[in-house]
C-alpha cells in the first residue's frame, strides 16, 4: 500500500458479514461487506463493520481477523426484523454510532451499504463531518418498477435515496446499468459516481473434479445438471428456470436426462414451513410435470457451495432485475458456464457467447433453447466455462474490488494523490488509542442514550 492506511467504518444495518446466507434477507450484501472488509483489512486498513444486533447472544464486538471487527449496534429488538421494517430503528442506530465515533478516534471515512445505512452515514456526516461513500446494492425506484405493489419498503425510501445521491461524497455504482439508473432515475452527478463491481473469492470458488462433486451430492454422471442458487424470493425468477427445464425436449437417444438443483432458502430444511417460496416453486414444478426432476436442497453454508457449482453442467440465474448478482461470478470461478438474464449486473458480468449466454427474463422458451444447446454440445459448454474462469480472474476478484474502493474512499476525503511516509506511524498510534469506551457505548441500553 503506497498511501497511509485508513480507518474505515463500514455500515451495513441488516446485512451482517457473520450471517448465514440464502434466506430472504441474507445474500449478496452480506458477502460484499464480508469480503470487502476482509480484503481492506488485509491491505492494512483498520475496518469496523457496524451492523444491527439481531440476536441477544451476539458478542458486542467480534474480531474477524486482525484489523477487522464487527460491532453489534442495538437498534430495535435484538431479534430478526424484516428489512422492510427497520427504518424506524435507524435514528437509534445513528445515535449509537455517533457515541461510538466520539469514544473511538474519528473514522476517516464511512462506507454505508443500502439506503438505511446511508441515512445513518448522512447523519454522521452532518454531525461529525465524516466523508461518506454509499453503495446502494438495490434502488427503491428500480425495485418499484419491477415489484409494484409487492414492494414493502416505506415511502420515505425514495426521498432518502435521492438525498444520499445528492449529498454523499461518492456513490458506488455496481455495474453500468446501476450507474444509468442513478443518473436517469435519481438525477445523480456523474462526477461523484464511481463504478466498482462485486467480486468473487478465488480461494473459495475454483474448478474441481465434477465426478467427485456429483458423488458427494448424490447426482449421477449421465445427468445434465442445471444449478439455480440464491435467495428464495420471487424476483429471482426461479419459476422461470423450472418452466424452462420443463420445456426442454428430451434427446432422441434418451441420454443426459435433466436434473435441476435449487439451492437456497431460509433453512437447510427445504420445506414450505421454513421457506414458503419453496412451497410455491414445488407447485410450479408439479404443474410443469417435472416435480421428480427438481431437487430443492434448502440453504447451504459457504463450504458446501463449491461442490454444487462444480457438479453442475450449467448455472442459471434469470431474475427480473439484478443490481449486481454475485452467484454468476461464483459459477464462472468454478469453470461452469452461466445462462443469465440480460439485465443489470448479469449483463455486465456474463459475456454473451463467451462465458455463457444472456436471455430475456420471463422467457422460459429462450432459456430452454440455450439449455438444450449446452446439453447437446459439451465441448461448447467447457469452452464457455474456461472463458469464465479467465474473465473473473482478470476482472472480478475481491482484492481488486477492495483496492478500487480504497481509492474511492481517498477521493471522498479529497485525497486524490497517494501519500507515503511518516503518516503510517500516526495510524498505528490511532489504532492503539482505540479504547474500552467503545464497548461501553455498544453495551448501553437504548433508553440511556442521547
State the residues that interact with ligand UDP by CB under 6 A. 21-22, 27-29, 31, 229-231, 263-264, 299-300, 302, 305, 324-327, 330
Q: Which is nearer to ligand UDP, 19 or 119 (CB)?
A: 19
**DSSP letters of 37-76?**
HHHHHHTT-EEEEEEE--STTS-SEEEEETTEEEEEEP-S
Dihedral of alpha carbons 351, 356, 362, 367, sign: positive
Distance CA 73, CA 392 (A): 35
Q: Which is nearer to ligand UDP, 74 or 228 (CB)?
A: 228
Distance CA 52, CA 94 (A): 11
Distance CA 232, CA 268 (A): 12
Q: Which is nearer to ligand UDP, 83 or 231 (CB)?
A: 231
* 3-class secondary-structure state, position 108: coil
Q: Which is nearer to ligand UDP, 113 or 299 (CB)?
A: 299
Provide the minimum distance between the beta carbon of 325 and ligand UDP in the complex, in angstroms, as a whole number: 5
Chain position whose Cβ is nearest to ligand UDP: 27
Q: Decide: 345 and 198 in contact? Cβ < 8 Å.
A: yes
Residues 6+ apart with CB under 8 A from 255: 222
Provide the minimum distance between the beta carbon of 300 and ligand UDP in the complex, in angstroms, as a whole number: 4
Provide the minimum distance between the beta carbon of 416 and ligand UDP in the complex, in angstroms, as a whole number: 31
Provide the minimum distance between the beta carbon of 389 and ligand UDP in the complex, in angstroms, as a whole number: 17
Q: Which is nearer to ligand UDP, 131 or 385 (CB)?
A: 385
Q: Say how many residues make up the chain.
A: 450
- Report the candidate in 401, 427, 408 with the shortest Cα–Cα distance to residue 39: 401
Q: How big is the CA angle at 119 (ends 117 and 122), to the nearest 5 degrees?
A: 110
Provide the minimum distance between the beta carbon of 258 and ligand UDP in the complex, in angstroms, as a whole number: 21
Q: Which is nearer to ligand UDP, 137 or 375 (CB)?
A: 137
Provide the minimum distance between the beta carbon of 447 and ligand UDP in the complex, in angstroms, as a whole number: 35
Tally Cβ neighbours within 10 Å of residue 24: 17
Q: Which is nearer to ligand UDP, 326 or 405 (CB)?
A: 326
Distance CA 216, CA 315 (A): 18
Provide the minimum distance between the beta carbon of 394 and ligand UDP in the complex, in angstroms, as a whole number: 20
Burial 305-327 (b: 16+ CB within 10 A, else e): bbbbbbbbbbbbbbbbbbbbbbb
Provide the minimum distance between the beta carbon of 139 and ligand UDP in the complex, in angstroms, as a whole number: 13
Q: Which is nearer to ligand UDP, 114 or 409 (CB)?
A: 114
CA 188 from chain center: how many Å?
23
Q: Which is nearer to ligand UDP, 124 or 359 (CB)?
A: 359
Within 13 Å, how many C-alpha atoms sit on residue 260's CB side? Answer: 28
Q: How far apart are the first and last CA of the chain?
A: 39
Q: Decide: 22 and 265 in contact? Cβ < 8 Å.
A: yes
Provide the minimum distance between the beta carbon of 22 and ligand UDP in the complex, in angstroms, as a whole number: 3
Amino acid at each position: 500500500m503506497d498511501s497511509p492506511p485508513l480507518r474505515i467504518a463500514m455500515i451495513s444495518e441488516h446485512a451482517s458479514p457473520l450471517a448465514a446466507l440464502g434466506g430472504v434477507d441474507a445474500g449478496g450484501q452480506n458477502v460484499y461487506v464480508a469480503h470487502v472488509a476482509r480484503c481492506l483489512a488485509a491491505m492494512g486498513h483498520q475496518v469496523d463493520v457496524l451492523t444491527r444486533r439481531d440476536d441477544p447472544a451476539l458478542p458486542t464486538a467480534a474480531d474477524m481477523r486482525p484489523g477487522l471487527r464487527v460491532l453489534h449496534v442495538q437498534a430495535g429488538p435484538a431479534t430478526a426484523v424484516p428489512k422492510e421494517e427497520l427504518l424506524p430503528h435507524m435514528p437509534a442506530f445513528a445515535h449509537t454510532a455517533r457515541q461510538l465515533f466520539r469514544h473511538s478516534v474519528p473514522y476517516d471515512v464511512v462506507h454505508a451499504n443500502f439506503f438505511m445505512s446511508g441515512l445513518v452515514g448522512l447523519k454522521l456526516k452532518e454531525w461529525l463531518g465524516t466523508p461518506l461513500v454509499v453503495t446502494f446494492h438495490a434502488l427503491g425506484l428500480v425495485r418499484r418498477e419491477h415489484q409494484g405493489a409487492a414492494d414493502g419498503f416505506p415511502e420515505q425510501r425514495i426521498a432518502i435515496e435521492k438525498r444520499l445521491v445528492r449529498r454523499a461524497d461518492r456513490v458506488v455504482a455496481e455495474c453500468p446499468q446501476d450507474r444509468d439508473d442513478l443518473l436517469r432515475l435519481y438525477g445523480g452527478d456523474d462526477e461523484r459516481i464511481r463504478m466498482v463491481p462485486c467480486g468473487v473469492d478465488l480461494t473459495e470458488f475454483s474448478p474441481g473434479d465434477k465426478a467427485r462433486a456429483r458423488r458427494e451430492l448424490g447426482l449421477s454422471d449421465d445427468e445434465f445438471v442445471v444449478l439455480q442458487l440464491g435467495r428464495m424470493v420471487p424476483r429471482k425468477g426461479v419459476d422461470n428456470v423450472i418452466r424452462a427445464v420443463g420445456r426442454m425436449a428430451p434427446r432422441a437417444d434418451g441420454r443426459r436426462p435433466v436434473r435441476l438443483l435449487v439451492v437456497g432458502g431460509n433453512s437447510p430444511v427445504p420445506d414450505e414451513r421454513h421457506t414458503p417460496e419453496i412451497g410455491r416453486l414445488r407447485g410450479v414444478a408439479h404443474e410443469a410435470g417435472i416435480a421428480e426432476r427438481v431437487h430443492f436442497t434448502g440453504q447451504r453454508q459457504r463450504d458446501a457451495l463449491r461442490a454444487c457449482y462444480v457438479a453442475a453442467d450449467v448455472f442459471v440465474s434469470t431474475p427480473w432485475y439484478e443490481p449486481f448478482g454475485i452467484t454468476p461470478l461464483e459459477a464462472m470461478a468454478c469453470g461452469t458456464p452461466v445462462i443469465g438474464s440480460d439485465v443489470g449486473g448479469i449483463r455486465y458480468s456474463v459475456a454473451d457467447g463467451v462465458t455463457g449466454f444472456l436471455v430475456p427474463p420471463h422467457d422460459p422458451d429462450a432459456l430452454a433453447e440455450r439449455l438444450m444447446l449446452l446439453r447437446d454440445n459439451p465441448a461448447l459448454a467447457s469452452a464457455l466455462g474456461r472463458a469464465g474462469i479467465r474473465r473473473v480472474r482478470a476482472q472480478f476478484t475481491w482484492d481488486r474490488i477492495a483496492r478500487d474502493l480504497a481509492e474511492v474512499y481517498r477521493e471522498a476525503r479529497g485525497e486524490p494523490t497517494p501519500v507515503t511516509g511518516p503518516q503510517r506511524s500516526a495510524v498505528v498510534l490511532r489504532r492503539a488509542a482505540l479504547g474500552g469506551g467503545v464497548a461501553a457505548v455498544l453495551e448501553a441500553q437504548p433508553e440511556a442514550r442521547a
